[in-house]
Amino acid sequence: MTGQEAQDRRIDYIEFNVADIARAKAFYGASFGWTFVDFGPDYCEFSDGRLKGGFAASGANPDGGPESNSEVRSGGPLVVLYAVDLEAMQARVEAAGGQIVQPIFDFPGGRRFHFRDTEGYELAVWTTT
């Protein structure tokens, strides 16, 4: 499979409503090495080298439609990232200002931890070893 067929049924884009785009960029840049492209003051696209997503300023809607509900809420889907060295990744997240909400734990298939980013979202990082 090539092109769009290879993307069929896979996560293609993730978008976060954030209170502070600069703070979100600083956190994810320092923690994960993501790169960024700004599209005006209310939207920034990020790339992890494989997947792209966006940070939308609270209340902004990048398609020009009605304002989005910008409150960060608990629950919803859990975004899970992968790291080869889980301990080093946890240290990077903490150094960048992330809050560990569930320290490293074992689960069938690997180990992971959960953290809250500087915008209030809970994410997880896992590894197979």
Q: What is the structure's pLDDT at 65?
A: 40
Rounded to two decimals, the pTM is: 0.73
Q: What is the structure's pLDDT at 5?
A: 78
Nearest Cα residue to 125 out of 74, 91, 76: 91
- Domain 3-127 CATH superfamily: 2,3-Dihydroxybiphenyl 1,2-Dioxygenase, domain 1 (3.10.180.10)
Strand, helix or coil for residue 80? strand
pLDDT in tens, 73-111: 555 678 999 999 999 999 999 999 999 999 999 998 899
Mean pLDDT of 26-32: 97
Contact 98, 118 (CB under 8 A): yes
CA distance 94 to 118: 10
pLDDT in tens, 46-72: 999 999 999 989 765 444 443 444 555
Residue 45 CB contacts under 8 Å (≥ 6 apart), including other chains? 36, 37, 39, 52, 53, 54
φ and ψ of 73, to 5 deg: -115, 150
Instruction: Pick 100 or 1 by higher pLDDT.
Output: 100
pLDDT tops 50 at residue 18: yes
Mode of pairing for the β-strands spanning 52-57 and 13-18? parallel
Q: What is the structure's pLDDT at 1?
A: 67
